[in-house]
Amino acid sequence: MSRIESFLDVTHRDAVSALKAWRLWTMLGWNDIRQRYRRSTLGPFWITLSVAFFIGVLGVIYSRIFHVNAETYLPFLTVGYVTWGFISQVINESCGAFQEGERLIKQIRLPYGLYVLRVVWRNFIIFLHTIVIFIPVALLFRVSPGLTAFLVVPGLVLLLANLGWVALMLAILAARFRDITQIVATLTQIMLFATPIMWPVSTLGGSTWIAEVNPLYHLIELVRAPLLGDAPTPLSWAVAIGMLAAGSALALLLLNRAAKRIVFWV
């Protein structure tokens, strides 16, 4: 079998088959949420309350530090921080996706992409729980995005798709090299402050390129800008689509090389 045929075979067997098995990974994701909050009264809404408290305190303090009106800053911070929380959780948890599914991997042959989609799905559920914080914030500060808000749908699709290939690559690399987990955890902490989440791009003055060269900024803007009533820039769309094309190809190539070894790595 040629390399191209092998690549296409792995792509179909793992990537396509994983998407077709959506009932299984959605069920596993829901079960993870239920197990995590099994004896909790509020369940995932504890995260919603903690994030809401964090945003409220941080919004009051940072709006004064950056000399920005709270009416403008709090909606900006709310959507940005909640979206960042979703991205960072997927990135961090994907490093243990295969180790988490070790028993299944060693007992039954399932698409490896399924374990990654499980991580993305359960964190998307938590994202839906926390993004509701924006509703009272928008009502309080009279944020009316109008029809522009519908752009959040393709923005979310692109965000989820990009997180899919990133999670797949990290799951493979972390299964082979366990130090990857610690490296990724450190980098995500650094990127929280290096990405325009808690600070507006306007504070950079003429140095907006610092934000524009950051791919995470563009992914967040695809969700944040429509909810705040602004259309994402063409650059943000182009970066997200370009990342999806190049990253997906790279992730599938890595899966093609590692598919037969993952069961021994976990």
Helix (H) or strand (E) holding 106: helix 102-107
Helix (H) or strand (E) holding 14: none
pLDDT value of residue 8? 57
- How many structural domains comprise the chain? 1
Each residue's pLDDT tens digit, 89-132: 999 999 999 999 888 888 888 889 999 999 999 999 999 989 99
Each residue's pLDDT tens digit, 161-213: 999 999 999 999 999 999 999 999 999 999 999 999 998 888 877 788 888 99
**Both tokens assigned to 228:** 């705040």
Q: Which of 160, 104, 127 is nearest to 47 (CA)?
A: 127
Q: With contact defined as beta carbons under 8 Å apart, do 99 and 175 qualify? A: yes
* Residue 232 within any structural domain of the chain: yes
Q: How far apart are CA 138 and CA 80, in angstroms?
A: 14
Q: How far apart are CA 174 and CA 141, in angstroms?
A: 43
* Residue 228 within any structural domain of the chain: yes
Q: How far apart are CA 31 and CA 96, in angstroms?
A: 17
* Residue 38 within any structural domain of the chain: no
Q: With contact defined as beta carbons under 8 Å apart, do 120 and 160 qualify? A: yes
- Greatest extent of the chain over all pairs of C-alpha atoms, in Å: 63
* Residue 75 within any structural domain of the chain: yes
pTM tops 0.85: yes
| CA-based torsion, 244, 75, 122, 181: positive or negative | positive
Residue 135 CA, distance from chain mean position:
21
* Residue 56 within any structural domain of the chain: yes
Least confident residue range of 5-14, 69-78, 98-107, 127-136: 5-14
* Residue 87 within any structural domain of the chain: yes
Residue 184 CA, distance from chain mean position:
14
pLDDT value of residue 12? 57
Q: With contact defined as beta carbons under 8 Å apart, do 266 and 105 qualify? A: yes
pLDDT value of residue 3? 62
Q: Identify the DSSP state of 202.
A: G
Give the domain extent around 233. Answer: 3-33+43-265
Distances (CA, A) of 258 to 14, 145, 263: 12, 45, 9
Residue 31 CA, distance from chain mean position:
20
* Residue 206 within any structural domain of the chain: yes
Q: How far apart are CA 159 and CA 142, in angstroms?
A: 27
**Both tokens assigned to 81:** 């921080």
